[in-house]
Structure formats: structure tokens, C-alpha cells
Amino acid sequence: MKGLVAYDSVYGNTKQIAEAIAEEIRANGHEVVLMSVKESLPEALDFDFAFVGSPTRIANASRASKKVVKRLAKAGFGAKPVVAFDTILPGVLEKTDRWGRTAAKVMTDLGKAKGLNMREPSLHATVKDMKGPLADDAVTLARTYAKDFLAALGK
Ligand SMILES: Cc1cc2nc3c(=O)[nH]c(=O)nc-3n(C[C@H](O)[C@H](O)[C@H](O)COP(=O)(O)O)c2cc1C
């Protein structure tokens, strides 16, 4: 299989998670295109699955990462699985007000509204503070998520 891992990142934490996902997919014998959402996506989106990641900022995903989700929907990604992932501050998932919204939730809702097959639960990685670093278990959790995702596809 061939997957796309596209990420946005200001301080490098979400990029590290994207790299861990890409490494795990490659370690399982699949091909990956790893790219920033700020680069132009390939013309032919001939991927079997995609991961799109963004830091959570003001309870939202970045504009560029949401654009990738919209582009996948426009490209007719159809039933192919898409995973939204993000980085978040500690405790955010327990919040029930708007500050409990995360980039991955926003992208998952957007993708679903556009007819994409968004995988749930999405993947959240915690940063210890505003600029990072990642929580100690974040890279391991991301690799495990990617491995389980491939296993669920039967690959
Ligand atoms: C302006 C700003 C707003 C932020 N808002 C949120 C937020 O609403 N929720 C949250 O969990 N983290 C928030 N954060 C923390 C970011 O999630 C954190 O900077 C990000 O995960 C780091 O990822 P990066 O290194 O890939 O940029 C905010 C950070 C900044 C700088």
C-alpha cells in the first residue's frame, strides 16, 4: 500500500509525530509520502490511505491542514481511510467546553461532512508545554496507532 502523511507544525512537535507514523508504516513494508501541508500535494492523489496532522491552536486545526482534508474529499478519496492527528496540551481531552475541541476533532468532523471515511478515534499526541517537548509516551503511542491502523486494514 501507499500512504500520504501530511502535517503542519510550528515548533516541530507535530512533525515528529508525522515522522513516527511514516517510520512505522515503512517498517511494515509500505510506501509513504511524508510532506508538510505547506508543500503542494501531488497532482494524482493515488494513495490507499492518508494521515493529516496539525497542532491544535485556539481549539482549531490550521488552515493549511484543513485545506488538505478538503482536497482529499475533492479528489474523490471516497471510502479510503483518512486519519486526522494532532498535538494538544495536557488535559484538553477532558474538557467539555469549546477548549476540548482539538485539531484532529475539527478535521475529522470536516472530513466526515465532506464524505470522507475518517477513522475514529483519531490520534492525539500531548505536548508538555506550548512549544513542546512531546510527552514521553507520544512517539510510542503514535507508532502503535499506525501499526493498529494497518492491522485493521488487514495489511
Ligand atoms: C497561539 C497558540 C494557541 C494554542 N491553542 C491551543 C489550544 O486551543 N488547545 C491546545 O491543546 N493547545 C493549544 N496550543 C498549544 C499547541 O497545541 C502546541 O503549540 C502545539 O501542539 C505544538 O505543535 P507544533 O510543535 O507542531 O507546532 C496553542 C499554542 C499556541 C502557540
Per-domain boundaries in the chain: 2-152
Q: Where are the alpha helices (DSSP H) in the chain?
A: 13-27, 63-74, 103-113, 138-152
Q: Which of 37, 57, 107 should be mutated for ligand 1, with most atoms under 8 A from CB?
A: 57
Instruction: Let me know: does 79 contact 112? Beta carbons within 8 Å.
Output: no
pLDDT for 27 beyond 90: yes
Q: Is 53 in the pocket of ligand 1 (CB under 6 A)?
A: no
pLDDT for 80 beyond 70: yes
pLDDT digits (tens, 9 = 90+) for 91-122: 999 999 999 999 999 999 999 999 999 999 99
Angstrom distances, CA of residue 144 to CA of 21, 68, 130, 150 = 9, 24, 24, 10
pTM of the model: 0.98
Q: Which CATH superfamily is domain 2-152 in?
A: Flavodoxin domain (3.40.50.360)
SS3 for 5? strand
7 Cα–ligand 1 center, Å? 14
